[in-house]
Amino acid sequence: MNITEHLLAVKKDLPASVQLVAVSKYHPEEEILDAYHAGQRTFGENIVQELRLKQEHLPKDIEWHFIGHLQRNKVKYLAPFISLIHSIDSAELMAEIDRQARRFGRQIPVLLQVHLAQEETKFGFLPEECLHFLDEGTWKTLEGVRIDGLMTMASNVDDNDKIRSEFHHANELYHTIKSRYFSDSPHFRLRSWGMSGDYKLAIEEGSNMIRVGSLIFGPRPARQTTIEPI
């Protein structure tokens, strides 16, 4: 099967309410164009300099999502064009996105990343930290940022019960936050969890945005070393 066939196979069984983010990190522009010509318009990247190059070269109606850990000093490179940042994990990062968004006359949609997995290496707010951040309320003054939902990653394990439990917890937290802070906001609706190996479980546990890479593009290639760091 080629990229088009893989993409269509993933999309075939998706509910209409679930948005697919094709995770194209490390994959060449030619492969992204294959998916684009098959109808895909939303792509996810996690390396700022790689994303900038692809955004410059590829069609301008692509919606680019940043799905990795984002350093504050690199926000300025994404601010002119990014459609959604999935990985807000601190008040300081939120403030920097606000500052850069206002420089470009934009309001950038973001997701709060919640840490529910057992690995210590994953980023994000612990659930109680997320609630404390929202209680504190400074985010309400940031006109350049709009919180549109939550993102999480499940533990990298073969235990489907554990994965399901983490997604279930994420969905419960989403509904708590929605009712407590965003009951009047139509924009706060995104639940970004589920990847190639677990997206079906994620959808069963409330996800309406999945991030799928290897099932579409095949195994992730080595990172391109020709890209200049910024």
Over residues 87-114, mean pLDDT = 98
Residue 99, helix vs strand vs coil: helix
Q: What is the dihedral of CA 224, 157, 65, 8, to 10 degrees?
A: 90
Residue 143, helix vs strand vs coil: coil
Measured in degrees and rounded to the nearest 5, phi and psi for residue 165 equal -60, -40
Q: Give the 3-state DSSP-derived string for 163-179, with helices as H, strands as E and coil as C.
A: HHHHHHHHHHHHHHHHH
Asked, for residue 223, whether it belongs to a domain, the answer is: no
pLDDT band with cut points at 50, 70 and 90 for residue 120: low
> Is the pLDDT reported for residue 224 higher than 60?
no
Measured in degrees and rounded to the nearest 5, phi and psi for residue 141 equal -90, -5
Which CA distances in Å does 27 have to 12, 196, 197, 219? Answer: 23, 16, 19, 10
> Is the pLDDT reported for residue 68 higher than 90?
yes
> Is the pLDDT reported for residue 122 higher than 80?
no
Q: What is the pLDDT of residues 1-21, one digit of tens each?
A: 799 999 999 999 899 999 999
> Is the pLDDT reported for residue 221 higher than 80?
no
178/184 Cα distance (integer angstroms): 9
Asked, for residue 230, whether it belongs to a domain, the answer is: no
Tokens coding 36: 């684009």
pLDDT (0 to 100) of residue 56: 97
Over residues 113-128, mean pLDDT = 86
Q: What is the pLDDT of residues 175-208, one digit of tens each?
A: 999 999 999 999 999 999 999 999 999 999 999 9
Task: Please list the helix, strand and coil fractions of the chain in percent, rounded to the nearest 5, in that order.
Answer: 40, 20, 40
pLDDT (0 to 100) of residue 118: 78
Asked, for residue 225, whether it belongs to a domain, the answer is: no
> Is the pLDDT reported for residue 229 higher than 70?
no
Which CA distances in Å does 215 have to 1, 5, 26, 45, 78? Answer: 11, 10, 15, 16, 27
Which structural domain range is residue 104 located in?
A: 3-217
Asked, for residue 224, whether it belongs to a domain, the answer is: no
DSSP 8-state code for residue 126 = -
Asked, for residue 134, whether it belongs to a domain, the answer is: yes
Q: What percent of the chain has pLDDT over 70?
A: 94
Domains in the chain: how many in total?
1
Instruction: Give the residue among 31, 28, 25 at the shortest CA–CA distance from 4.
Output: 31
Asked, for residue 229, whether it belongs to a domain, the answer is: no
Place of tokens 């589920």: 194
The model carries a pTM of 0.95
Asked, for residue 41, whether it belongs to a domain, the answer is: yes
pLDDT band with cut points at 50, 70 and 90 for residue 219: confident
Asked, for residue 15, whether it belongs to a domain, the answer is: yes
CATH number reported for the structural domain that contains residue 127 in this entry: 3.20.20.10
In the predicted model, what is the mean pLDDT of the chain? 94
Q: What percent of the chain has pLDDT over 90?
A: 90
